[in-house]
Structure 1
Amino acid sequence: MDDKNAPYHAHIYYQLADRVAAEALHLRLSGLKEAAGAAPILYVGQLRDRKVGPHPIPQFEIHFIKANLEAIVPIIESSGLTALVHPLTDDDVADHTSLARWIGEPIELDLAPLDPPGMNKGVARFGKTDF
């Protein structure tokens, strides 16, 4: 079954030297969230200039549904920044590894903070909050 309403995240990574590019993408994605009608972005998180959770470098996350995946990926790609795009399932580790798609050069994540299989706190905060 292909659920077009399945929840997705993208984590957009940046170095502090690339923060201007990250801010520009953040602004563009925030504009899509504010768009009238069926906005393709449900949530845009804060730019985090430090390690957070499994993410070893600065990043921000966005939330959207699978139906909007193919519209959002080219926008991220055009920024030149690295991103991890993944579904939200009940397996947080798989979401960030085997089910994930990288845009740009992959970054080694710290998997230790991720929830064990069968539990994913990200599902409960989908569309509402980031870290």
Structure 2
Amino acid sequence: MNDNAPWHAHIYYDASERSAAERLRATFADMMVDDVAPILFIGRMTDGPVGPHPIAQFEIHFSASAGAMVSRAIETTGLRALVHPLTDDDVADHTTLAHWIGQPLELDISVLDPPGHNQGVARFGISDF
């Protein structure tokens, strides 16, 4: 696996978990500043469903080499997350190529681009939503 390959995580939260999500988001921001891990982008917190995601979430983009550190940071919060590579297949990225931290959620994959297509959504370094 290419250590510079782009990866993505969606960290989910409900109203009672929002403060934990804010703290985790700040932790990732500190990693960007301190170069502790190659965190490349942190998206805004969305307090409701967006795209295929049925509940509130925020996203981060990171290099494959940061995967273990990102996963550990998420696991320590007790929040759930979907972690996946960024390829040219949105459906596979969110299903067969993804792994869950915590209890999985049912995503609305009908809104994702079909394999091999991208409807103009930036795939790396800029928020998808």
The count of corresponding residues between Structure 1 and Structure 2 is: 129
> What CA distance in whole angstroms lies between the structure 1 residues aligned with 2:127 and 2:47?
17
Deviation (angstroms), 1:33: 1.4
Deviation (angstroms), 1:130: 3.7
TM-score (norm 2): 0.93
RMSD, aligned α-carbons: 1.7
The equivalent residue for 1:31 is: 30
Paired residues of 1:89 and 1:120 also in contact (CA < 8 A):
no
Counterpart mapping for 1:1-131 below 5 A: 2-36=1-35, 39-120=37-118, 124-131=122-129
Paired residues of 1:8 and 1:85 also in contact (CA < 8 A):
yes
| Alignment gaps of 5+ in structure 1 | none
Deviation (angstroms), 1:85: 0.3
> What CA distance in whole angstroms lies between the structure 2 residues aligned with 1:122 and 1:76?
29
> What CA distance in whole angstroms lies between the structure 2 residues aligned with 1:69 and 1:13?
17
Question: Which amino acid is 2:76 matched to?
Answer: S
TM-score (norm 1): 0.91
> What CA distance in whole angstroms lies between the structure 2 residues aligned with 1:93 and 1:28?
29
Deviation (angstroms), 1:71: 1.5
> What CA distance in whole angstroms lies between the structure 2 residues aligned with 1:87 and 1:120?
15
